[in-house]
């Protein structure tokens, strides 16, 4: 008997990816199929298993989107294949999300389902723009209205909306904003009622325009407000509760490139400093599944006095292979570890191992110097690293007459993602390797003249120069922290210069 599939309707929240619930994230991390809207933050797809099928069904106002009936049929078909499906919907599934229609279709076809609520833009977007939905003695109710089509704005309804004393929140109504405001005024709403329009709410590109009901449409047009936009009408819209806690990278945007693990790690650190990030993981780590030299080395691990690991990827592959070969970690009791990078050190520590040798500068040449100085000539070294690892590591070991096996256990390659004509317009763009640079330009991306490039080390800088990029910042410390420190320093310098001009 074939396995029946299940469908989880998950609210992705609005704006930035980290507004999803923990429950929703847990389901994303183990699904087999994700069916997602354009209104969701694409960074959520980084948490989906690589093997999962990813299907975009549009659903953005003004652009092509899949018909709802086709989406319903898609969910039924995939569930009939026995798949575990996450239907990822912007905001909340039941707040103008048409989640009910999808459930009716699932019920009609005997498909099991569950629902995970999401943070609705109707409340969160105004809130993150400093506007409360309710406030004591000012607004005791909130009314959520779709302004998407003419049928949603019938005269009888507008009479009722105009008579309400609470906060009115119109979703997807930007193109009808003038009609909405004029209709409310003609139905008796005070023309001086505080109003606001928030475009791209809860994201780095959020834009807020305020005014009165009589002029809010004109103000939004002058400010060139774009969809998606949320309109708030009511006395609560006069409040300004924008956050006053300022982090070092508040209002700074950063595009992060690299492998998915690196992108996740670096993005989280940027976001903790207040930055908004865009992720571009154009690189895949390709582990060499059939690698007899690697297996033989691990099965004879006692022959080595030192294991050299140059990356987090290498460390993770090393420990995974030990388990695969059923090698007890206690067999490493007499082995020293020489590594590059704090991330690699953390990967070792998660397995209960503290690195013995770790240079201050996170490059192969520095590691080779440390090994030459600290490892006796009679101790054999096992080097486990990427296919394109620096030749300086082994050249220096050869000069010092060290005994070693240099085994390539993985490669980092472009995953072939094409983003032709996509222009990077964030404040900063980061590169952590030459491979990342090559994959980026091979994808067809372009870079705005306003975007500053930050890279690790001279090798990555030289690769950028081959693509005609000369205006770039090179991290003094050649690691992830170095990239962050470089951007912090640059932002601070810009703030000082701006202050001096005033």
172 is known as an active-site residue: yes
156 phi-psi bin (left φ>0, alpha ψ -120 to 50, beta other):
alpha
Which of 172, 189, 210, 276 is catalytic? The answer is 172
89 carries an active-site annotation:
no
Q: Model pTM?
A: 0.76
Q: What is the pLDDT of residue 451?
A: 95
- Could you give the strand order of the β-sheet that contains 6-11, starting from the edge strand earlier in sequence? 53-56, 33-36, 84-89, 6-11, 112-116
Euclidean distance between CA atoms 352 and 239, whole angstroms? 52
**What mean pLDDT is predicted for residues 365-379?**
94
Residue keyed to tokens 């109504």: 173
Q: Which of 59, 78, 83, 336 is catalytic?
A: 59
| Structure confidence at residue 62 (pLDDT) | 47
Residue 485: active-site member: no
Strand partners, 13: 91
- What pLDDT does 154 receive? 63
Residue 416 in this model has a pLDDT that exceeds 60: yes
Q: Is the dihedral of CA 488, 491, 496, 499 positive or negative?
A: negative
The model's pLDDT over 128-161, given as tens digits with 9 standing for 90+, comes to 999 999 999 999 999 999 876 656 566 678 899 9
Query: From start to end of 234-350, where are the E strands?
Result: 253-259, 276-287, 306-309, 336-339
Q: What is the rounded average pLDDT for all residues in the chain?
A: 90
More confident residue, 212 or 153: 212
- The DSSP code for 98 is -
């Amino acid at each position: 008997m074939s396995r029946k599939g299940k469908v989880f309707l998950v609210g992705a929240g609005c704006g930035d990816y980290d507004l999803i619930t923990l429950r929703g994230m847990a389901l994303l991390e183990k699904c087999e199929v994700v069916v997602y809207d354009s209104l969701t933050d694409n960074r959520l797809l980084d948490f989906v298993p690589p093997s999962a099928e990813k299907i975009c069904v549009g659903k953005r106002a003004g652009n092509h989107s899949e018909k709802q009936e086709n989406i319903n049929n898609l969910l039924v078909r995939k569930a009939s294949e026995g798949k575990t499906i996450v239907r990822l919907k912007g905001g909340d599934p039941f707040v103008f999300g048409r989640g009910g229609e999808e459930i009716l279709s699932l019920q009609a076809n005997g498909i099991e389902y569950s629902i995970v609520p999401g943070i609705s833009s109707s409340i969160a977007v105004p809130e993150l723009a400093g506007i409360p939905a309710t406030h004591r003695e000012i607004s005791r109710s909130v009314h959520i209205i779709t302004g998407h089509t003419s049928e949603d704005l019938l005269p009888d309804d507008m009479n009722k909306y105009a008579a309400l004393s609470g906060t009115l929140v119109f979703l997807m109504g930007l193109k009808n904003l003038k009609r909405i405001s004029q209709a409310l005024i003609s139905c008796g709403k005070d023309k001086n009622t505080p109003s606001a329009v928030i475009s791209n709410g809860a994201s780095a590109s959020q834009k807020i325009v305020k005014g009165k009901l009589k002029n809010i449409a004109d103000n939004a047009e002058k400010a060139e407000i774009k969809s998606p936009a949320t309109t708030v009408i009511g006395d609560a819209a006069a409040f300004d509760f924008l956050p006053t806690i300022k982090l070092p990278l508040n209002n700074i945007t950063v595009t992060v490139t690299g492998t998915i693990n690196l992108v996740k790690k670096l993005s989280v650190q940027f976001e903790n400093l207040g930055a908004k990030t865009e992720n571009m993981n154009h690189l895949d780590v390709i582990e060499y599944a059939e690698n007899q030299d690697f297996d033989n080395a691990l099965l004879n691990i006692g022959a080595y006095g030192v294991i050299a690991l140059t990356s987090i990827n290498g460390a993770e592959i090393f420990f995974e292979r030990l388990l695969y070969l059923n090698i007890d970690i206690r067999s490493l009791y007499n082995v020293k570890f020489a590594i590059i990078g704090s991330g690699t050190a953390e990967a070792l520590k998660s397995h209960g191992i503290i690195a013995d040798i770790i240079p201050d500068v996170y490059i192969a040449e520095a590691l080779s110097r440390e090994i030459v100085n600290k490892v006796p000539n009679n101790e054999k070294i096992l080097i486990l690293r990427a296919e394109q690892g620096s030749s300086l590591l082994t050249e220096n070991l050869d000069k010092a007459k060290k005994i070693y096996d240099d085994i390539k256990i993985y490669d980092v390659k472009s995953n072939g993602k094409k983003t032709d004509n996509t222009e990077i317009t964030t404040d900063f763009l980061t590169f952590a390797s030459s491979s990342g640079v090559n994959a980026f330009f091979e994808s067809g991306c372009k870079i705005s003249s306003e975007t500053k490039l930050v890279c690790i080390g001279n090798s990555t800088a030289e690769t950028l120069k081959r693509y005609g990029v000369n205006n770039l910042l090179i991290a003094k410390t050649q690691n992830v922290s170095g990239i962050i420190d470089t951007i912090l320093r640059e932002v601070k310098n810009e703030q000082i210069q701006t202050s001096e001009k005033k």
